[in-house]
């Protein structure tokens, strides 16, 4: 056999190898028990004596060369596997670690409050932020000469004088009562707008939660019990609560609700103005005129309503002294929640 021809054939076979399986087939073809090298080795005794030594050295050199070429080819195949092409997707590799996000503290506060009232049987309802003057004022028994109707206190849409950005979430009361008959119990979270000068305690946009319950034989004591469960759920079981007489056009009787200061426990400090109490919301029994506007029989049904500022609740709970921090998008502040 011509050794040079065999070497050319080996190079040709190895050049066509593209996988480990193909490389193994070439190895078996030449180095296997019945391979070409075994055949050449077995033919050495039949070579003339004067040529036997040279032929044996050629066969041995061919074997060593083939082993080296197979080793190099194996390294080449390994390199291709370890450096995949740009379209290769290794699902075993760890993913890109991204910075975990979180809900905004105001959203967290809304979810917590809604969860408490959900457990008491209230349903969450939302309404539009652009409202009619009727739903925002008239339907809630707010008279024409009331200061809140003035353009200095309400964002009116210039082209549509009867439309405005709602100044509280109470208009949803009117919408729901017009659409449903008692009994009903709802909680209404949402954004509200008032043209206030921005400072540490005021914004022109903030969040409120409105509550409404209407049924037969609803009493003021039901309102007090409901709000007490809410206050203790948010601020802890040791919180004390008190009602102070107040006036709201859409409730009668009306009250402002205070809790004992969560900082000084009612002893008096700079947060509560040395009073020991913090105001958290307004509430009262629904005015008969509001029932009249929505078509409810005020002799048959009674109910209560309450409203609170979410930012104020969050500021009291977390000891925050500037409402603007919620909307400045400072990650150092937001990451605390």
Mind listing the pLDDT tens digit for each residue in 129-165?
999 999 999 999 998 888 888 877 889 987 666 899 9
Model pLDDT, residue 129 = 95
**Class for domain 105-334, per CATH?**
alpha beta
Q: What would you report as the CA-atom Rg of the chain, rounded to the nearest whole angstrom?
A: 42
Span 97-116, pLDDT tens digits: 787 788 999 999 999 999 99
Q: Report whether pLDDT(227) > 90.
A: yes
CA angle 307, 104, 185 (to 5 degrees): 30
Cα 123 from Cα 176, distance rounded (Å): 11
Cα 230 from Cα 10, distance rounded (Å): 86
What pLDDT band is residue 263 in, cutting at 50, 70 and 90? confident
Q: From the CB of residue 60, how many other CB atoms can be counted at a distance below 10 Å?
A: 14
Cβ neighbours for 57, distance < 8 A, ≥ 6 positions apart: none
Kindly report the three-state secondary structure assignment for every residue of the chain: CCHHHHHHHHHHHHHCCCCHHHHHHHHHHHHCCCCHHHHHHHCHHHCCHHHHHHHHHHHHHHHHHHHHHHHHHHHHHHHHHHCCCCCCCCCCCCCCCCCCCCCCHHHHHHHHHHHHHHHCCCEECCCCCEEEHHHHCHHHCCCCCCHHHCCCCCEEECCEEEEEECCCCCHHHHHHHHHCCCCEEEEEEEEEECCCCCECCECCEEEEEEEEEEECCCCHHHHHHHHHHHHHHHHCCCCCEEEEEEEECCEEEEEEEEEECCCCCCCCCCCCCCCCEEEEEEEEEECHHHHHHHCCCCCCCEEEEEEEEHHHHHHHHHCCCCHHHHHCCCHHHHCCC
Mean pLDDT for 66-84 is 76
What pLDDT band is residue 53 in, cutting at 50, 70 and 90? confident
Model pLDDT, residue 33 = 78
Question: Which of 169, 246, 166 shows the shortest CA–CA distance to 212?
Answer: 169
Domain ranges of the chain: 3-82, 105-334
What pLDDT band is residue 177 in, cutting at 50, 70 and 90? very high
């Amino acid at each position: 056999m011509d050794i040079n021809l065999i070497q050319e054939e080996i190079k040709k076979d190895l050049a066509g190898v593209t996988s480990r399986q193909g490389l193994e087939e070439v190895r078996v073809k030449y180095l296997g028990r019945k391979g070409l090298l075994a055949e050449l080795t077995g033919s050495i005794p039949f070579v003339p004596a004067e040529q036997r030594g040279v032929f044996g050295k050629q066969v041995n050199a061919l074997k060593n060369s083939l082993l080296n070429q197979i080793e190099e080819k194996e390294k080449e195949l390994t390199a291709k596997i370890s450096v995949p092409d740009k379209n290769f997707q290794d699902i075993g590799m760890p993913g890109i670690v991204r910075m975990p996000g979180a809900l905004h503290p105001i959203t967290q506060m809304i979810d917590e409050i809604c969860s408490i009232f959900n457990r008491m049987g209230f349903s969450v309802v939302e309404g539009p932020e652009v409202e009619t003057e009727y739903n925002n004022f008239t339907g809630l028994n707010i008279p024409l000469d009331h200061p809140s109707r003035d353009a200095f206190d309400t964002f009116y849409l210039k082209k549509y004088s009867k439309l405005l950005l709602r100044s509280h979430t109470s208009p949803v009361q009117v919408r729901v009562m017009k659409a449903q008959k008692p009994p009903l119990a709802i909680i209404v979270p949402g954004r509200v707008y008032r043209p206030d000068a921005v400072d540490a305690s005021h914004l022109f946009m903030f969040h409120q939660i409105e509550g409404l319950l209407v049924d037969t034989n609803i009493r003021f004591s039901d309102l007090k019990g409901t709000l007490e469960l809410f206050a203790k759920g948010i601020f802890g079981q040791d919180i004390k609560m008190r009602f102070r007489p107040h006036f709201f056009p859409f409730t009668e009787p009306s009250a402002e609700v205070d809790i004992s200061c969560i900082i000084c426990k009612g002893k008096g400090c700079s947060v509560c103005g040395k009073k020991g109490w913090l105001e958290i919301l307004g509430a009262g029994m629904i005015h008969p005129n509001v029932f009249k506007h929505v078509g409810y029989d005020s002799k048959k049904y009674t109910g209560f309503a309450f409203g609170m500022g979410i930012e104020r609740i969050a500021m009291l709970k977390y000891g925050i002294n500037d409402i603007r921090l919620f909307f400045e998008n400072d990650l150092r502040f937001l990451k605390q929640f």
